[in-house]
């Protein structure tokens, strides 16, 4: 079992960490790197041996494709082949949202290995808005990076969470502190559409439907004609704690069983509106301790889920958040955490 080294990347003194990560990646290693969404487990997007390690380390099925991260816009052409009918809208989207948490699913460049795309004709690509990740992508080139957790589990938003997930499985973690957004990127499949460009929303995230609507029509991922495209990555059960996890729409209808330890994942600190006073909880984590801010709740979501998972309770009860803006992404993650595993 390799020893996992953690290298600090303090603000304004990131060089050492960037050089170490770039060297490891060039040597065909996988490295956990901070991004603004969650920590990624990165490999050179053109190195099939390194890519295979990503799937092995994560125990991830190879039918689940990876997102390619780029550090400069011109690298988009080495990853994707952009047809004329969407060229304009891709330019608009990348100008508005990159670097940032928006992933575009586009026709692939044939040079991209099948392991990255699960053999699909499309590739998912984004430019991350994190100085460390961006600098490493600039030095090494496009990096394929899924979240740095074991498959199906909670995404890591700190270096210590990556250690919990992958210690002894990877050689290097770059510690860039907590992630600014806290949930994974928004993913859209970009099409020309009949009148306006059309974006099929494959995963809700920090870039909201409302923001995207300025550039085209946003449709739900359900209406898919191409079966191949719909198949990977849309797994209903995901982001799961090991502890039983339930999303309770109305606590008044919830039946607490005797002798069972319950933990609460609350939205607001305000007991009147939420579930804090509804039971003698064995553990409580509050996503937004003030009046409730969705952006703060997103940042704390996976951290709080991990805390409750480690607290020794038997059941985690999650309170819903308002389903607007980034709240759509939070509710998506809560529903998937609560979904039955196969």
Where does this chain bind ligand AMP (CB under 6 A)? Answer: 64-67, 105, 117, 120, 122-124, 146-147, 184, 187, 202-203, 229, 232-234
Task: Give SS3 for 58.
Answer: helix
Check: CB of residue 269 under 8 Å from CB of residue 288.
yes
What does the alpha-carbon distance between residue 267 and residue 284 come to, in Å, rounded to a whole number? 10
Check: CB of residue 255 under 8 Å from CB of residue 317.
no
Shortest gap between Cβ of 165 and Mg ion (angstroms)? 11
DSSP letter (8 states) at residue 339: S
Contacts of 62 by beta carbon, 8 Å cutoff, 6+ apart: 55, 115, 118
Shortest gap between Cβ of 313 and Mg ion (angstroms)? 24
Residues engaged in binding Mg ion (CB under 5 A)? 147
DSSP E strands in 262-312: the ranges are: 262-268, 283-288
Residue number, 230 or 283, with CB nearest to ligand AMP: 230
* Partner from Mg ion, ligand AMP, none binding residue 33, C-beta < 5-8 Å depending on class: none
* Partner from ligand AMP, Mg ion, none binding residue 243, C-beta < 5-8 Å depending on class: none
Shortest gap between Cβ of 111 and ligand AMP (angstroms)? 15
The secondary element (H helix, E strand) that includes residue 188 is strand 186-191
Shortest gap between Cβ of 263 and ligand AMP (angstroms)? 25
* Partner from Mg ion, ligand AMP, none binding residue 124, C-beta < 5-8 Å depending on class: ligand AMP
Residue number, 237 or 311, with CB nearest to ligand AMP: 237
Phi, psi of 33 (to 5 degrees): -130, 140
What does the alpha-carbon distance between residue 292 and residue 69 come to, in Å, rounded to a whole number? 32
Shortest gap between Cβ of 100 and ligand AMP (angstroms)? 15
Residue number, 149 or 288, with CB nearest to ligand AMP: 149
Of all residues in this chain, which one has the CB nearest to ligand AMP in the complex? 233
The secondary element (H helix, E strand) that includes residue 55 is helix 48-58
Shortest gap between Cβ of 239 and ligand AMP (angstroms)? 10
The secondary element (H helix, E strand) that includes residue 123 is strand 122-126
Shortest gap between Cβ of 29 and Mg ion (angstroms)? 20
CA 188 to chain centre: 14
* Partner from Mg ion, ligand AMP, none binding residue 233, C-beta < 5-8 Å depending on class: ligand AMP
Structure tokens at 197: 């460009």
Of all residues in this chain, which one has the CB nearest to Mg ion in the complex? 147
Check: CB of residue 124 under 8 Å from CB of residue 68.
yes
Check: CB of residue 135 under 8 Å from CB of residue 16.
no
Shortest gap between Cβ of 136 and ligand AMP (angstroms)? 17
Residue number, 147 or 181, with CB nearest to Mg ion: 147
Check: CB of residue 150 under 8 Å from CB of residue 166.
yes
Residue number, 131 or 234, with CB nearest to ligand AMP: 234
* Partner from ligand AMP, Mg ion, none binding residue 251, C-beta < 5-8 Å depending on class: none
Residue number, 81 or 234, with CB nearest to ligand AMP: 234
Residue number, 21 or 148, with CB nearest to ligand AMP: 148
Q: Is 302 left (phi over 0), alpha (psi -120 to 50) or beta?
A: alpha
Residue number, 148 or 313, with CB nearest to ligand AMP: 148
Look at the block and give the residue holding tokens 């040597």.
Answer: 27
Alpha-helix runs per DSSP H in 14-69: 15-26, 48-58
């Amino acid at each position: 079992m390799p020893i996992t080294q953690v290298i600090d990347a303090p603000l304004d003194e990131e060089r050492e960490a960037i050089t170490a990560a770039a060297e490891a990646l060039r040597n065909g290693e996988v490295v956990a790197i901070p991004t603004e969404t969650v920590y990624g487990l990165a490999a050179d997007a053109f190195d099939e041996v390194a890519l295979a390690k990503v799937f092995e380390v994560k125990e991830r099925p190879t039918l689940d494709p990876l997102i390619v991260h780029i550090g400069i816009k011109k690298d988009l052409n080495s990853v994707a082949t952009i047809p004329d009918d969407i060229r304009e809208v891709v330019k608009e989207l990348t100008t508005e949202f990159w670097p940032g948490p928006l992933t575009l699913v586009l026709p692939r460049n044939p040079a991209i290995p099948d392991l990255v795309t699960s053999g699909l004709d499309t590739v998912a690509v984004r430019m991350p808005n994190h100085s460390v990740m961006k600098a490493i992508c600039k030095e090494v080139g496009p990096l394929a990076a899924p979240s740095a957790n074991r498959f199906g589990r909670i995404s890591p938003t700190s270096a210590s969470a990556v250690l919990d997930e992958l210690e002894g499985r990877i050689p290097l973690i770059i510690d860039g502190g907590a992630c600014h957004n806290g949930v994974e990127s928004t993913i859209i499949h970009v099409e020309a559409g009949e009148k306006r460009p059309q974006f099929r929303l494959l995963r809700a995230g920090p870039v909201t439907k409302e923001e995207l609507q300025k550039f085209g029509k946003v449709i739900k991922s359900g209406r898919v004609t191409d079966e191949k495209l719909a198949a990977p990555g849309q797994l209903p059960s995901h982001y799961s704690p090991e502890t039983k996890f339930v999303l309770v729409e109305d606590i008044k209808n919830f039946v607490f069983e005797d002798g069972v330890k319950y933990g609460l994942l609350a939205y607001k600190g305000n007991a009147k509106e939420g579930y804090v006073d509804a039971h003698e909880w064995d553990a409580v984590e509050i996503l937004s301790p003030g009046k409730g801010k969705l952006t703060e709740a997103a940042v704390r979501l996976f951290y709080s889920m991990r805390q409750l998972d480690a607290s020794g309770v038997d059941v985690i009860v999650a309170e819903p958040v308002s389903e607007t803006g980034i709240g759509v992404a939070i509710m998506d993650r809560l529903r998937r955490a609560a979904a039955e595993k196969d």
